[in-house]
Structure 1
């Protein structure tokens, strides 16, 4: 109940009832979040009893670190609809995303600090430079740029996106020092200055010959084959004929518009064995996506090696060029 004759409270009484300072009430009033009911003859602010609940709601929302504009939208919606709705949902979701990013950055920084702390003193300067080049939380943009420059030009956007999802590893949510090092080394690897000719030399000849549209078909088929091979590898099965190898060869045969014959398989094995390789990229990717002390997680690179070994075993050893 109000202690005044007109049922309204002064700013001090409202502040006392809400357990906040007069300065806080004045701040929210001046910002339009807490409208005053009237002014006294002396020009003092007067508030109705409903202002107490509104002030408590403001304090609760601000305690969640919601920004003032979001609080304003929530209060306006509550006043119109009688209860919080979409504005509150949006604000909470946005705040959760922000906190998620902050937590990810903290976890990454902790692992980075441990990576520097645990290395020999003589290596700390170089390791600091390596890790310091990576943002926290880390971004995979450098890896995506590398592969976009590596892929045939004018490939359909959907095919490029699907390829990047397979080729660009995501750092773990709770990284260990080994993961930080692997990611930093990956970024350093793909960020080395190189001209178009050097980048062209790293692309498999069997892929370049296909062209943009045909390459999209090829990569889609290879993605299926790599998934099948990865399932075999997780079962600790060595390279062997089967569904994965059939999908692998079929991807190349369909792209080239040729029949899958023993002769084609021999030629394919020989050409794939002579193709340029990016082994270091896939080695670091495996370190990044695998548990520190567990079995290495298959990558497109290791799945390709598994499939090529199965093909070579099937057609007979093919000497590398």
Structure 2
């Protein structure tokens, strides 16, 4: 059995740098190769993170026989095409969120991976963080009863620039796909698919959403969700159950602490994460590959498809088309 997994990275922006840093904290894994359309950038990143090879053409990395898995960290609109190409070259794929531009693209990616029995996973790193696993276990235990409501927001102030990815429609820009996916993921992972969705948005002149307000209605619960490029928000999550309120503190999607308020008492749990947090999903993928798996045991293809469908449904509500 192979004892070490060689990683490659395609698309070398901020997230890729964070991921490369996190890989140094993962057992049985190493960054082997990086690729950018700007080869000088690839060389710089490879030297910074001790990758063995730097490529100026994505396909060269895909063809490298020493690469076991490729992390795709390009803008959203390239995820579908690049994932398919990587899979066709026999490479396992960890693709940044959002997995694709719509559910149809996601279905094509998953179908190809399944047909070739090749590992493919959406890089929804929050799912693998210790505080989030603790949250899921706590709620699943039933100790505090059922969820009655939840609130989650994610917002930061972004200076408008039509040439930047965030505001570029051709690159899948907009707050919904970029950061709104996190509050939606929270609601979905805790409550499942809603019975009804209501959503309104404000748009930039480039046609992407600057902010989005969403309500997910369930039989006996409701989720209020918000994303914004117009202002910095607390970026917290608050879950109200029958017997407690659970708070995920600021930047709830990153390593953070959790407070539980029940019967007049508040307790806070810190998880003492000393990394940027991307190592947890990287470790999971590495372990899945060492075990010969073609699908994650924690974030399945079906869950990715459900999440893409929810994003599609919100876009339909606000009238956002790519």
Q: TM-score, normalised by structure 2?
A: 0.23
Q: Which has the larger radius of gyration?
A: 1
- Greater RCO (Cα-Cα under 8 Å, separation 6 or more): 2
Of Structure 1 and Structure 2, the greater helix share is in 1
Q: TM-score, normalised by structure 1?
A: 0.24
Of Structure 1 and Structure 2, the greater strand share is in 2
